[in-house]
Amino acid sequence: KIALLLALINRQVGGVLLVGARGTAKTTAVRGLVGLMPMVEHSTCEYGCEAEDVYLFGMGGVCKTCATKLGMGDPITTSEQMRLVELPLNARLEDVVGGISERVALEQQKVMLERGILAQADQNLLYIDEVNLLNSTIIDAILDAAAQGQYTVRRGPMSTTYRSRLTLVGSMNPEEGLLRPQIQDRFGLRVLVRGVTDIKERMDIDRRAVAYKNKPYKFVSDREAETEAAMAEEIEARKRLPKVQLTVAVEEKALSWIQRLKIDSHRAEMTLFEAGRALAAADGRLDVTEEDLRTVAPLALRQRQTDIASGFF
């Protein structure tokens, strides 16, 4: 839960990979984030135009329709709640990145590029269940787009750049196949999920599951106050995040851990620092402590330990 909340507070954490056996509530935990998601600005344009495009590129940075709206003083974005977008396991590359719209081609006899799942997930949370079973080309495209915050689709002479500022969460059962190490490294935090061992807690899980299946609306409404309080805390943490800083002493301490672990990937400290900032923001503080980094270090560093590269130098 800590890893998922940190990723929701700070997109720069780089996402979360949940690794565990079947039935350990990985998907349930991700879907449980829906009630905590804040309001974000979404483009109302089919091309994803935003007002900041004008500041960056001039009026040529937005489509003609949006340029007209902005010229008349009308908004081209609207405030909506962040959504959970789930990637189907049978998704094609064209579905993910976008391609030529078959509907427009048939109905209007013209060629137009259509947004894919990645563009639809902009400013939202993209969840990939069984990520280890996904086609390598597709997962590479998703990870690149998530890291860059945008991607470009080219089909013949046409090309369009879409935003993909998304929070990425993947889950997998290692019994069904492993994930390439370079892909694991692209996820900021990795969590090893195990079943609860305490007998009373397992009984409580069963009772909650039965209660939800029998009366889902009552189950949700009984916890509405707790959910709203958690959402308010998460929203405040997001607002506080830009002000959260690390001291040089704390950074050097963390880098000494990475050095002792012989980790080559620079994503190690980037993820560690951003996760530490998110944890401090969630705790209502503006300074990251060594204890914050110790808390998130296993999530950020464990999967990046390797001695394989040392044999080549």
Q: What amino acid positions are annotated as catalytic residues?
A: 267
Distances (CA, A) of 104 to 43, 45, 93: 21, 16, 19
User: Rounded to whole angstroms, how far apart are CA atoms 218 and 143?
Assistant: 38
Q: Which two tokens stand for residue 255?
A: 């880098």
User: Rounded to whole angstroms, how far apart are CA atoms 99 and 93?
Assistant: 9
Contact of 169 with 15, CB cutoff 8 Å: yes
Report helix, strand or coil for 231: helix
Looking at the chain, list the stretches that DSSP marks H as alpha helix, in order from N- to C-terminal side.
2-9, 26-31, 52-57, 64-71, 93-97, 102-108, 117-120, 136-148, 181-186, 199-214, 216-222, 224-240, 248-260, 267-282, 290-301
What number of CA atoms fall less than 13 Å from residue 176's CA on the CB side? 13
Contact of 42 with 83, CB cutoff 8 Å: no
Report helix, strand or coil for 140: helix
N residues, the chain: 313
Q: Which two tokens stand for residue 206?
A: 């069963």
Q: Which two tokens stand for residue 46?
A: 């089919």
Tokens 């590029």 sit on residue: 113
Q: ∠ CA(219), CA(224), CA(230), 5° rounding?
A: 125
Long-range contacts of 207-213 (CB under 8 A, 24+ apart): none
User: Rounded to whole angstroms, how far apart are CA atoms 99 and 116?
Assistant: 7
Report helix, strand or coil for 245: strand
